[in-house]
Structure 1
Amino acid sequence: MTATRRAGNVSPLLVLPLLLCLLAAVTGCTAQQQHRPSVVVTTNILGDLTRNVVGDEAEVTVLMQPGADPHSFGVSAPQAAAMEQADLLVHNGLGLEENVLRHVEAARDSGVPTLAVGESVDPMTYTGGESAGQPDPHFWTDPVRVREAVRLLSDRVVRHVEGVDAAAVEKNAERYGEELDGLHDAMRDAFGSVPADRRRLVTNHHVFGYLADRYGFRVVGAVIPSGTTLASPSASDLDSLATAVKKAGVRAIFADSSQPDRLAQVLKRESGIDVDVVPLFSESLTPKGQGAATYLQMMRANTEAITEGLTSR
């Protein structure tokens, strides 16, 4: 009986190391889960590019909701905190995210590595309107520059986000880059069917300068003569643009699908000529199933809409 009691009793000196090992294992797992690599992205267009590059190698958090306006969207307190705790913060730059810039600067000041994509892909300046001479942030309308953006994203993720598989990230970037090459070829071929005398664009605001420069279009003007949707046109602005529309013989006005096209409709009436108002996806992706849930879908849809709008009549 004495021997039996001794066998059933385990010395506390033996139990304590076992408990410590178990606690260390649990704590290690928890710490690993809490420190999963994190990339925070401001706009949903950049978010889609980043997710294609990062894949499953890190957590990608996109701040801007589908259908939102990058010029006016804001972030919550938890989102601002996530920006300052990220391993990498990706933003457009060039003044696009007007309400988020101070949070980007706060994250940078706290030591978070940041990538201002638009500033790193040979940015253009506006050539007309109130924003003339200022940097144009809408580089994503040119898939060739987006191809360069993907290369930059891959490089920064590998360099700054610890714990990712560099080979996997680079492979993702190369695969997606090939898709972007295919997009560029398809856009070039489609726009090639638009006669030279019809390659004229009027949009809701100045957003397609990069596309026009890449594929040989002329931007006649914009209903809102600015690079931001936060501006508004005066009566004289509308009158001047209506005159330009008449002179150029523009067949369609392109308005962002996420914004009311009231101003474009007003210009249509002011111009005194019969023009179509064609919706485009210019500054934001949409929820799934609404036509532009990814960057590739958005640009293919826009290419089709622009081509048809300028050649259908």
Structure 2
Amino acid sequence: MKKYLILVALLAIVACKNKSEKDPNGKLKVVTTTTMITDMVQNIGGDVVEIQGLMGSGVDPHLYKASEGDVSKLFNADLVIYGGLHLEGKLVEIFEKMESRGKKTIAVADAIDTSELIGSEYFASNYDPHIWFNIGFWKKITQYTTEKLKEQDPENADLFDKNSAAYIQKLEALEKEIKQIIETLPPEKRILVTAHDAFNYFGNAYGFEVVGLQGISTATEAGVQDVQELSNFIIDKKIKAIFVETSVPRRTIEALQSSVKSKGHDVAIGGSLYSDALGNKGTVEGTYIGMFLFNVNTIVNALK
């Protein structure tokens, strides 16, 4: 109740704050949600944008709840950039109230036409929100975000364009590299079993059959029947390895591994994949490009 009253009080003041009002240091103040979005905005904005990311490494955006400090950051920002498609399910009400009171918020999912999205019964949006696992989508999102930053800070428009073009060039190189790595894995071995269904866009884009133990949202729980059915699938398909995720407890995949072993078969845990968050800040996996390359190498090496 206390947090709700604080939220209402802060949002009531939002309408009184001038939109796009710059910080005294001259920088546009941007608040982002997931680590993937934070990394992208940092690549576009460089040193002329002050960025605060709400979520860190290993944080599950499906379950993330805003603290009083988060609400303060959102209130003081000139621009809020989030995933959309109900990825940050417990923050949706906050974003809606901010928008209704004139606060500028951007959902990066708006960059993608709904005809290209994967349907999902688990989300109120009716679409799978894990769109960052298609690099082509991420390039569109980069361009979309660049235009929104230019609208808010036209003085630095040329710099945003320059930084965005350089970043997209790196994304194109990444896509070429991962396709070469995936080509080393025979098509019949391209079956990816993970803790939850975060990799469907990856599968569609790069030729993998993807099966998650939990649903697309980690808010859904895997039952005994789910474990039994998936263990039979692993045995039938002679799958060598299954994968844990850094933002999902290991116990779900360990239970699946135990189920397979109880039926006289063996399956390895092939490694830990980054799904809903990047790695630690300051590491290679703490960047979108490093995360993607790490995941692909981990998957291909384990399934060979």
Give TM class, smaller chain: 0.7 to 0.9
- Distance in 2 (CA, whole Å) between partners of 1:223 and 1:173 is 36
TM superposition shift of 1:305: 0.2
Letter in 1 for 2:148: R
CA distance in 1, matches of 2:72, 2:26: 15
Q: Aligned equivalents of 1:289 and 1:40: distance in 2?
A: 19
Match for residue 286 of structure 1? 279
* Residues 23, 29 of structure 2: 8 Å contact kept: no
Contact 1:57 / 1:164 at 8 angstroms: preserved in 2? no
3-state SS of 1:100 partner = helix
For 1:194 and 1:208, how far apart are their aligned partners in 2?
A: 17
Taking structure 1 as reference, are residues 68 and 197 closer, same or farther at Cα in structure 2, changes over 3 Å only? same
1:274 aligns with 2:263: no
1:198 aligns with 2:189: yes
Check 1:42–1:54 CA distance in 2 against 1; reply closer, same or farther (3 A cut): same
Equivalent residue of 1:104, what SS?
helix
Match of 2:303 in 1: 310
Q: Any stretches of 5+ residues in structure 1 without a counterpart?
A: 1-30
Structure 2 unaligned regions, length at least 5: 1-21
Aligned mates of 2:137, 2:186 — CA distance in 1: 25
Q: Which residue does the alignment assign to 1:298?
A: 291
Contact 1:37-1:163 within 8 A present in 2 as well:
no
Quote the residue 1:7 is aligned against: none
Q: Is the 8 A contact 1:94 1:137 kept in 2?
A: yes
1:213 equivalent among 196, 201, 204: 204
Amino acid at match of 1:233: A
Structure 1 residues 1-313: aligned runs within 5 Å: 33=24, 36-122=27-113, 123-126=116-119, 134-159=126-151, 161-162=152-153, 164-219=155-210, 221-224=211-214, 226-271=215-260, 272=263, 273-277=265-269, 278-288=271-281, 292-311=285-304
Instruction: Write the deviation string for residues 166-186 of structure 1: whole angstroms up to 9, x where unpaired.
Output: 000000000000000011001
Distance 1:157 1:291, change over 3 A: closer
* Counterpart amino acid of residue 141 in structure 1: F
Give the AA of the match of 1:216: G
Q: Which amino acid aligns with 2:95?
A: V
| Cα separation, partners in 2 of 1:287 and 1:164, compared to 1, 3 Å | farther
Q: Could you tell me which amino acid in structure 2 is paired with residue 265 of structure 1?
A: E
Paired position in structure 1 for 2:19: none
SS at match of 2:286: coil
CA contact (8 A) 1:85 1:112 kept: no
**What SS class does the counterpart of residue 106 from structure 2 fall into?**
strand
Q: Which moved more, 1:112-121 or 1:187-196?
A: 112-121
Letter in 2 for 1:302: N
Shift of 1:107: 1.6
**Letter aligned with residue 176 of structure 1:** Y
Structure 1 counterpart SS, 2:90:
coil
Q: Which moved more, 1:103-112 or 1:142-151?
A: 103-112
Distance 1:44 1:32 in 2: 23
- The DSSP-based 3-state class of the residue aligned with 1:254 is strand
* C-alpha distance in 2 between matches for 1:173 and 1:235: 47
Identity %: 27
The more displaced of 292-301 and 79-88 is 79-88
Aligned equivalents of 2:23, 2:246: Cα separation in 1:
43
Kept after mapping to 1: 8 A contact 2:218/2:248: no
C-alpha RMSD of matched pairs (Å): 2.2
Q: Deviations along 1:235-261, whole A, 9 cap, x unmatched? A: 111111112222222221111023332
Does the aligned pair in 2 maintain the 1:126–1:209 contact within 8 Å? no
Aligned residue number for residue 8 of structure 1: none
Q: Cα 1:201–1:184, aligned 2, differ >3 Å: closer, same or farther?
A: same
Q: Does the CA contact (< 8 Å) of 2:32 and 2:80 recur in 1?
A: yes
Q: Note closer, same or farther for the CA distance 1:193–1:43 as it changes in structure 2 (3 Å cut).
A: same
Flag the 1:78–1:144 CA change in 2: closer, same or farther, 3 A. same
Q: Which amino acid aligns with 2:126?
A: Q
**Aligned-residue offset at 1:112:** 2.0
Distance 1:124 1:175 in 2: 26
Is 1:83–1:103's contact at 8 Å kept on the other side of the alignment? no
TM (norm. structure 2) is: 0.85
Give the number of equivalent residue pairs: 277
Distance in structure 2 (CA, Å) of the matches to 1:291 and 1:73: 24
8 Å contact kept, 1:38–1:58: yes
- The 3 A distance-change label for structure 1 pair 124 and 171 is same
